[in-house]
Amino acid sequence: MLNLILLGPPGAGKGTQAVKLKDKYNIPHISTGDIFRKNIKEGTELGKKAKEYMDKGELVPDEVVIGIAIARLREGDCGGGFLLDGFPRTVHQADELSRHFEDTGGKIDLVIDIVVGKDELVRRLSGRRVCKSCGATYHVTGMPSKVDGVCDECGGELFQRTDDTEETVSNRIEVYNQQTKPLVEYYEKKGNIVHIDGTTGLENVFSDITKSIEA
């Protein structure tokens, strides 16, 4: 059983590390952002509501997110552990998550806080490109695809997330600092958080995370 939370600002590399962690530890990767994007693509009511906030770089309201995240945690595949990516993002969400564990008898084993400075975050996010078909991520200068606009993995079309434009990115970082960063202190008080330098390269970051998990 391994219950993990990935914390850190947008662009810290949570999604990238989540894919590697999910494969290594064989636990489901739960990204509330991915759940919203899937709903937007499918044109659901939830998707329409979430899009209003996401496009501005704001948080989707707690009363919408909490129910969705907790329902996902109740699904059978989370019984052996899970990796939360992008949830919780507010103290209220974290409180509700704690309450869920009080009810079910589980606990969070480790909160992994990936630390990256603001200039680097803006650079990473505004250059990010994502494959429409398989979700693989690239960076226009840091990690370009072999053929411009085409995914190396599956040949799918690359696009820029509507919330990765420079203006929205700044707002997302601001929102993170105001609403999500307090969770660092929240979990420090609980004593189950580690801080990982997110600027040492993908493999080093991964290795630092796995060492903390296995310590």
Where on the chain is the footprint of ligand AMP (CB under 6 A)? 10, 31-33, 36, 53-54, 57-60, 65, 86-87, 89, 93, 163, 172
Residue number closest to ligand AMP, CB atom: 33
Residue that has been written with the tokens 């600092």 in this structure: 177
Q: Is 123 a catalytic residue?
A: no
- Of the pair 69, 215, the CB lying nearest ligand AMP is at 69
Q: Cβ 112 to ligand AMP, closest distance in Å?
A: 15
Q: Is 129 a catalytic residue?
A: no
Outline where DSSP puts E strands in 99-192.
Answer: 110-115, 128-131, 137-139, 158-159
Dihedral pair phi/psi, residue 115, rounded to 5°: -105, 125
Tell me 132's DSSP state.
T
- Of the pair 27, 51, the CB lying nearest ligand AMP is at 51
- Find out whether 166 and 87 touch, Cβ atoms under 8 Å: no
Between CA 147 and CA 74 the distance in angstroms is 41
Paired strand residues for 83:
4, 29
Q: Cβ 146 to ligand AMP, closest distance in Å?
A: 25
- Of the pair 89, 193, the CB lying nearest ligand AMP is at 89
The active-site residue out of 22, 123, 161, 181 is 161
Q: Is 37 a catalytic residue?
A: no
The active-site residue out of 72, 89, 124, 129 is 89
Q: Cβ 89 to ligand AMP, closest distance in Å?
A: 4
Angle at 29 between CA 61 and CA 50, to 5 degrees: 25
Q: Is 74 a catalytic residue?
A: no
Dihedral pair phi/psi, residue 84, rounded to 5°: -90, 130
Catalytic residues: 14, 89, 128, 161, 172
